Structure 1
Amino acid sequence: MLTTKKVSEMFNVSEETVRRWIRSGELEAVQDGKIYKIDQASLIKFIDKKVKEPGNSISKMGFITGIADKEEDSTTVASKLIEFGAAVVAKNIKMWLPFDQVPEDPEELSIYYLKNLIYFRKLDMERLEHEHKIKSLDIKEEIAKYELILQMKLNDKKEGEKMD
């Protein structure tokens, strides 16, 4: 039986994410006091389902390891993902997919890869839109500051002319 801490380390996610999977019913577990315990069969069943859903940490690992498109039994998939998760934690590498290295011919891409490619490109687009909004707000704030300084200087100049 595995704890939420061990499962979180395997998949490079927080313990809260594992508890959320359990509370939502996605991952079967037994509660032992305050601790959840996950058996291997439940974990394998969970991995088998999650590796096929684009846009989550487990499907990313499946994509990176190249097992997501292969017809392998659930136990093999789970053990490869667990090994990969442990390697990620050990090396503390970033888990972003190399979508900037897409093959020239999109027809060569698998359905799984295309779904993930679309998902992550949409995320990139949203991130850029947010960065643009933030930058625009920063510039507007800077302009407002300069306008205030200009107004103060113009007021000071008028006050100085009135005194003369």
Structure 2
Amino acid sequence: MLTTKQISELLRVSEETVRRWIRTGELHAEQDGKGYLVDELALKRLVDEKSQIPGNAMNKVLPIINDLFGPEAAKFAKSNLFDPLRQSMDQSAPPRPEASPESVAEELSQLKRKKRRLELEHELKLLEIEEKIAVLEQKASRL
């Protein structure tokens, strides 16, 4: 049996995501006080289901799937994940429609917003580190 925290660490998702899967019934769990316990088979079923959805973020957990459930489960998950390289090489894939000026402008706008958000997150992390450095330097100067 695994806790929501253990699952979040294994799958590299937030604990809230795991709790949401439980609330929506995607992941079967047993109540344990204020928390939940999840059977490994229930987790395996969820991972199998999620890995079959093209473009799903579960592809980042392939190494974890391999560690938890073995190479066959990882192979199954990989074969059912969205693979842009494989799709681009597949001649039977439908051609991508031409982009309109509006769609290009929207995508550009989204990328600029994403870039700015990442820059701000980076600055925030740097400030947090600088604050820790300042605290440690003060402690060191008192010694």
Q: TM-score, normalised by structure 2?
A: 0.50
Tell me: higher relative CO, structure 1 or 2? Use CA pairs within 8 A at least 6 residues apart.
Answer: 1
